[in-house]
Amino acid sequence: MGLVDGFGRSRTARRLRIAQVAPLIESVPPRMYGGTERVVSYLTEELVRQGHDVTLFASGDSETTARLVAPCAHALRLSGCHDAAAHHLVMVEEVVRGARNFDLIHFHIDYLHFPVMRREGLTHVTTLHGRLDLPELDRLYEVFGDMPVVSISDAQRAPLAGAAWQGTVQHGLPRDLYRLGTGQGGYLAFLGRFSPEKRPDLAIEIARRAGLPLRIAAKLDRADRDYYNRHLAPLVCQGHVELVGEIGETDKQAFLGDASALLFPIDWPEPFGMVMIEALACGTPVIAFRRGSVPEVIDDGISGFICEDADEAVRAIERLPELSRARCRERFETRFTSTRMALDYLDIYRRQLEQTHEGREPAGPAGLLDPRHHVARG
């Protein structure tokens, strides 16, 4: 029987058996910072809510209503892991062993599985979550140009226009995860990582010139410690700056909901930028630089202001009273919910199944999942 979703699209009632294969660096969802794993969690839970049979391959400390298969007991970032690739290759092997349990396998681990998937002939798709303008990727996608991939913004896919793109699916959050905030805290917010491409130094400068306090909630990776010590340590001591530390999902409502605006002065081709839609879910406008996905996420003059440089960002702060927090929240609800994200992926899944399984009955369960790593649903 045909169903109609809340976005006006008809969809089949067929229940799919889907494997979601997450990175093992963070748990799903992550305890603190972690973009890809958080998206995988939102997608997995929404697919289960819609009635699909979902198996999640992720670290053993993950929490899900899906069936969990855990190649490692704990997320690798906090477990003292020396070789993350080893754990991921073990996971790919477990996915292949259990492949007859799935109609389709959805990978989120970059390209590690490409050689195996090509030879196994399994129905699969891969969402690429990172930047794609690295020179080494040209040759990789020349060799593996048949691998079906999904982008998270149109800007992300530009450097690899010849890849086998199946579509662009922008990220989404559960509709009720955050609520409309008041913005009465009287401060600007910066949320993300202490890294050169995120430009926390510019956020500090913009807030200082605007005469407003800046609260920074950021993760410091080992790779960025030298950058922090050389360039940021002298800046974060300024009186208008408050360091909050790395925060998790439960802390973001107050942090973003009380902020006058989120500063997003990036200096790299941001593939998506989850923090932007988290801010919009709280009704908080975003002041962002015109890089990467920003023009696809922010409606200039409605949900924020898109700027070319720090001078424009300072002037944009003066224009914040022109924006409606309710309209920012409305933009989130109409464009960036996990329901919309899941329906977009289901469209891609079904196209893949039509292309690769036309005229074939789905394979029955083979019972090949290793029980030593199996955690029951719920």
Residue 248: the pLDDT is 83
Measured in whole angstroms, the distance separating CA 177 from the mean position of its chain's CA atoms is 15
Question: Rounded CA gap, 64 and 56, in Å?
Answer: 8
Residue 9: the pLDDT is 52
User: pLDDT by residue (tens digit) across 189-198?
Assistant: 999 999 999 9
Domain 3-172+337-370 has CATH 3.40.640.10: no
CATH of 188-334, one of 3.40.50.620, 3.40.50.2300, 3.40.50.2000, 3.40.50.150: 3.40.50.2000
Residue 77: the pLDDT is 82
* Beta carbons within 8 Å of 299's beta carbon, 6+ residues apart: 331
Output the CA torsion sign for 113, 114, 118, 124: positive
Question: Rounded CA gap, 329 and 324, in Å?
Answer: 9
Rounded mean pLDDT, 196-209: 96
Rounded mean pLDDT, 155-170: 96
CB 209 within 8 A of CB 203: no
Torsion of CA 208, 213, 219, 223, to 10 degrees: 20
Question: pLDDT-based confidence at 332, cuts 50/70/90?
Answer: very high
pTM for the whole structure: 0.89
Residue 212 has pLDDT above 70, yes or no: yes
Measured in whole angstroms, the distance separating CA 116 from the mean position of its chain's CA atoms is 25
Residue 375: the pLDDT is 43
Answer whether 3-172+337-370 and 188-334 agree in fold: yes
Torsion of CA 353, 355, 361, 366, to 10 degrees: -60
Residue 6: the pLDDT is 57
Measured CA to CA in angstroms, residue 329 lies from 181, 214, 240, 279, 290 at distances of 9, 22, 28, 9, 21
Q: Are strands 374-375 and 67-69 parallel, antiparallel or unpaired?
A: antiparallel
As a whole number of Å, the end-to-end CA separation of the chain is 28
CB 274 within 8 A of CB 171: yes
For 311, the enclosing helix (H) or strand (E) is helix 310-318
Rounded mean pLDDT, 31-52: 92
Rg (CA), the chain: 21
Residue 182 has pLDDT above 70, yes or no: yes
The length of the chain, given as a count of residues: 378
The rounded mean pLDDT for the chain is 90
User: pLDDT by residue (tens digit) across 301-312?
Assistant: 999 999 999 999
> Which of residues 77 and 95 earns the better pLDDT score?
95
Q: Are strands 3-4 and 10-11 parallel, antiparallel or unpaired?
A: antiparallel
Residue 223: the pLDDT is 86
Residue extents of the structural domains in the chain: 3-172+337-370, 188-334
Q: Which residues pair with 190 in a beta bridge?
A: 216
Question: pLDDT-based confidence at 293, cuts 50/70/90?
Answer: very high
Residue 370 has pLDDT above 60, yes or no: no
Q: How many percent of the chain have pLDDT more than 70?
A: 90
